[in-house]
């Protein structure tokens, strides 16, 4: 199992989760009640699954596809380390990874 740490958008709360390799990060977050929408269920049509990966952990992820980059261009609060959680599959390399949820738009 791979340890993933979900950080709330305001940085006040952290939840440690053990995830099975191969699981989609969006599904892992939703299964433990993290407020990550994923409206299009991974069809890359919404960007509501946007997360910010800690800088040290970002390089452990495979590169984002062009399609993912295009969707991130449409998201709010994007940083250099933003990704779509529906496109991240948990791997052992990610053990200990910290992921901050993007602020929910009002």
> In the complex, which residues of this chain contact ligand FES (CB under 6 A)?
26, 38-42, 44-49, 71, 84, 86
Residues contacting 85, CB < 8 A, separation 6+: 24, 25, 26, 29, 36, 38, 49, 50, 51, 99
Closer of 84 and 94 to ligand FES (Cβ): 84
| Terminal Cα-to-Cα distance of the chain (whole angstroms) | 35
Task: Find how far residue 84's CA is from the centre of its chain.
Answer: 5
How far apart are CB 105 and ligand FES at their closest, in Å? 14
How far apart are CB 42 and ligand FES at their closest, in Å? 5
How far apart are CB 46 and ligand FES at their closest, in Å? 4
């Amino acid at each position: 199992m791979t340890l993933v740490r979900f950080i709330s958008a305001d940085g006040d709360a952290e939840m440690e989760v053990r995830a099975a390799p191969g699981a989609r990060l969006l599904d892992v977050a939703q299964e433990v009640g993290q407020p990550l929408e994923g409206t299009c269920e991974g069809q890359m049509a919404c960007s509501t699954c946007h997360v910010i990966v800690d800088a040290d952990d970002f390089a452990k992820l495979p590169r984002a596809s062009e399609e993912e980059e295009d969707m991130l261009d449409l998201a709010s609060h994007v940083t250099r380390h933003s990704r779509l959680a529906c496109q991240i599959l948990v791997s052992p390399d990610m053990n200990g990874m910290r992921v901050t949820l993007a602020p929910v738009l009002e």
